[in-house]
Structure 1
Amino acid sequence: MAKIVPFKAVRPTKDKAGMVASRPYENYSAGELKAQLEYNPFSFLHIINPGYKFQHEITGEKRFQLVRNRYLEFKEEEIFIQDKTPCYYFYKILTRTNMFSGIIAAASVQDYEDNVIKRHEDTLANRENLFKDYLKVVGFNTEPVLLTYPDSEIMDNLMLKVMKGEPEYEFSTYNKEKHILWKIESPEKVAKIKAEFETMPTLYIADGHHRSASSYLLAKESKAANPNHTGKEPYNYFMSFLISESKLQIFEFSRLITDLNGLSKEEFLIQLDLWFRIESRGLEVYTPTKKHHFNMYLDGEFHSLYLRKTNYEFTDSLSNLDTYILYQKILKPILNIQDLRNDDRIAYIHGKNDLIEIKSQVDSGNFAVGFGMLPLTIEELKKVADEGLTMPPKSTYIEPKLRSGLTIYEF
């Protein structure tokens, strides 16, 4: 039974929502970031990049405290307001090619601990603790964890009713996306949403493993320091965006490798032949159409690689993943890529970018070889999580990607 509850969001006033909301900080180029900070005084980027005010880069706990200060300034200037009653928030994003919709709410850290909220990726302890310390100092969370739930006719019907009402926000962005948010505060609708989530035995983290892990650590620390802990404190929850499984979109990450680990092209292909049937495609841009089929671009040519299944043993859901097969049979043993997170010989391109980008990067000499594959499915993701396993890093690129600053969860 999933415990998904409404909360009193801190939000921008209606007239400023489009100016406040920002993409994740790391998604801006240096030029874009500078322009936003110079010409948009309402951008949430001013909060998460507080050193700009002093024309000085600030790191560590000093930065955390300045983030807190900028946030309080936005509240004092009434750029932000807080809802007086706990609400759910229905959020809809229209891109050039897709429509995403879901509910912003607070998810339980106890559900995370009890594996009601299941995960499929490993997290790094140092990042978990860094984010935990950040949350503790700033006192708020603005980037929801992306959770997915089984398709629900009841939830879909509720959303249709909500969309007939006047939205709280409706604005467009420079990349031609439209963002619409409705506030759900009627006791009847709130009760129905909460009850429907309570019928769901399991939710899955689609994106935000470090954010959920750091929220869990903060809750444990806060509970230990609070002799009057009741379980109802805000630190017992973390902000989430919940989207049904059929509305989630999963892309693949292609892999680029800087060199062939000292092998000649011929030696490399001979080693590949042990595990894969190889066909040269020349300049034909080959896109895999089946699981366990891979695209490879090497020395000016595309190749198709088909796994020799008679040689390969499928033992669990992890061994079925194409990202795992690529790592275990090519990247690790042949190209000596041991650490997928930290080896500077490997780079990733998410599948929204064309395979032509792989060709361009290899032809430029920046990389020696590139690999592509089909994206994972939601069923594969769930099986890995259900078996308590973890995928290789960069196995999925999942949309939607949400704007920061539209709803803020205070601890």
Structure 2
Amino acid sequence: MARIYPFRALRYNPSRVRIEDVVTQPYDKISPSMQQAYYQRSPYNLVRIILGLPELFDQPLAIDSRAAADVYSRSARDFAEWRAQGILYREKDPCIFAYSQRFAVASALTPDSRDAILERRGFIALGELSDYREGIVFRHEQTLAKPISDRLSLLRATRAHFGQIFMLYSDPAQTVDRLLFGNDAEASADLEVVDEFGVLHRISRISDPATINLLSAAMEDKKLIIADGHHRYETALEYSRERVPEPPSSTERNSHAMPQPPYPEAAVMMTFINIDSPGLVILPTHRVVFGLKDFSTVRFLERAETFFDIESLTATDPEGLLARLAPARASRTAFIVATAEGRYLFTLKTDAAVDALKSIPDRQRQLDIVRLHTLVLEKLLGITPEAIREQRNVHYHREPAEALEEIATGQADLAFLVNPVTLDQLREVAFAGDVMPQKSTDFYPKLLSGLAIYALD
């Protein structure tokens, strides 16, 4: 069963800072240029804690080390100072937050959509951590080694969660949304901010115990799928295992009028979104391959003909390439391959790939992104799953133009422009206990970091 809890959130003090100057995108979506811009906006911008800039005499942090390097020490120092100075204040009562996001989706971002204004609704609360084997929380993609090490070091240093795990649950009757928003999502909003992508974020504080208990009861039978935040979830789970206390006495266990996690580290801040509601958009995450020894486009194309029909394309701009990709998706696996020598549309020869894919579970065998990883990255290019996990040869872009730019500047050997995974595919894979490759999905828009903070102390 999914257990949720209200909490006394830390929040930015609007009398001391402008909210739009201090909140950020999630840490893994902050580019170097965004990081610099956040630094310039405010000395209290959250980026200084969640993704601080390194300094000259910082100590390197080994992946298996438990000692915080200087960058994490500075995060802990700044966090403590901001609390002491009143930049951050703690809510008087435990609460949850209704959270809505209003945004535009351009058809250029996701070829299956038209330009539209959408709204996504959910709520922020604590969610109890559980091992995947318990069948309450389900993942849908693999994780990378470095982000988990980094986030664990930050969590150990600051003892706080600054962003929310994005969780999906199923509620076709919209029971939770009606409980939170009624007929008007705007009536009681106490904070709103527009981010750099033009997304309007609005949250409303809910502290009424009766409402919170109704919400907790409505969520008890739900299974949860991690939409975004696999690395942070696994980080929080690891940290909770490090901090398991002695069992509380029965008196302590029943001393709270409001539901509480068994100990602070047993829960993490989450935003819960109904998978059956409108407003869920998944964008593709494009792949860039670099550092291949003696890579040759001609040899690669010759080998790829074993599994794919290959068409050389005249289009070179992202919009033109994606326009060729979307129709090809209807009948067969397809993706765009870009190298320094040209642009190519790859479409799968289904029969030729049967033997190469036979070890893959059937649900995943049908996914474009799995076929790309298995047939191209592993079999044709020889990149191991370990190398992918450690990001030795592959990294990722939301924007196709950024992927193509790496080819144009000689920073990469190949770029792969892909179609997005669908919600139905995600749900089927997750509930089957399978996992897709890393960065298979990109939910848009992202949840802002800094709207609420869960401090463990």
Partner of 1:385: 430
Is residue 30 of structure 2 the alignment partner of residue 3 of structure 1? Answer: no
Deviation at 1:55, TM superposition (A): 8.8
Deviates more, 1:340-349 or 1:167-176: 340-349
Where in structure 2 are there 5+ consecutive unaligned residues? 61-67, 106-117, 254-260
Partner of 2:83: 75
The partner residue of 1:340 within 388, 410, 422 is 388
Distance in 1 of aligned mates of 2:264 and 2:100: 25
Counterpart AA for 1:6: P
SS in 2 for 1:176: coil
Partner of 1:309: 350
SS in 2 for 1:395: coil
Distance in 2 of aligned mates of 1:114 and 1:310: 38
Partner of 2:92: 84
SS in 1 for 2:130: helix
Deviation at 1:244, TM superposition (A): 1.8
Sequence identity (%): 25
Partner of 2:111: none
The partner residue of 1:41 within 29, 40, 43 is 43
Within a 5 Å distance, the mapping from 1:5-404 to structure 2 comes to: 5-15=5-15, 16=17, 17-25=19-27, 27-28=29-30, 33-34=35-36, 36-38=38-40, 40-48=42-50, 57=58, 60-97=68-105, 98-110=118-130, 114-123=134-143, 128=148, 131-152=151-172, 153-161=174-182, 163-200=185-222, 202-223=223-244, 225-226=245-246, 228=248, 232-245=262-275, 246=277, 247-258=279-290, 262=294, 264-283=296-315, 285=321, 286-289=324-327, 290=329, 292-298=333-339, 301-313=342-354, 315-338=361-384, 339-342=387-390, 344-350=392-398, 353-354=399-400, 356-404=401-449
CA 1:405 to 1:259, structure 2 compared with 1: closer, same or farther past 3 Å? closer
Would you say the 8 A contact 1:261–1:334 is kept in 2? no
SS in 1 for 2:407: helix
How does the TM-score come out when normalised to structure 1?
A: 0.86
Distance in 2 of aligned mates of 1:123 and 1:408: 24
Counterpart AA for 1:269: L
* Runs (4+) off by over 6 Å: 49-52
Distance in 2 of aligned mates of 1:28 and 1:36: 9
SS in 1 for 2:326: coil
Deviation at 1:404, TM superposition (A): 1.8
How does the TM-score come out when normalised to structure 2?
A: 0.78
Counterpart AA for 2:335: F
SS in 2 for 1:317: helix
CA 1:265 to 1:38, structure 2 compared with 1: closer, same or farther past 3 Å? closer
Would you say the 8 A contact 1:147–1:204 is kept in 2? yes
Distance in 1 of aligned mates of 2:5 and 2:217: 10
Would you say the 8 A contact 2:364–2:370 is kept in 1? yes
CA 1:308 to 1:173, structure 2 compared with 1: closer, same or farther past 3 Å? closer
Deviation at 1:375, TM superposition (A): 0.7
Would you say the 8 A contact 1:260–1:369 is kept in 2? no
Partner of 2:258: none
1:145-185: per-residue Cα shift (whole Å, max 9, x none)? 11111144112223432625331212234443322111112
Deviation at 1:196, TM superposition (A): 1.5
Deviates more, 1:182-191 or 1:124-133: 124-133
Distance in 2 of aligned mates of 1:45 and 1:263: 38
Give RMSD over aligned pairs: 3.1
Deviation at 1:21, TM superposition (A): 1.6
Distance in 1 of aligned mates of 2:298 and 2:57: 52
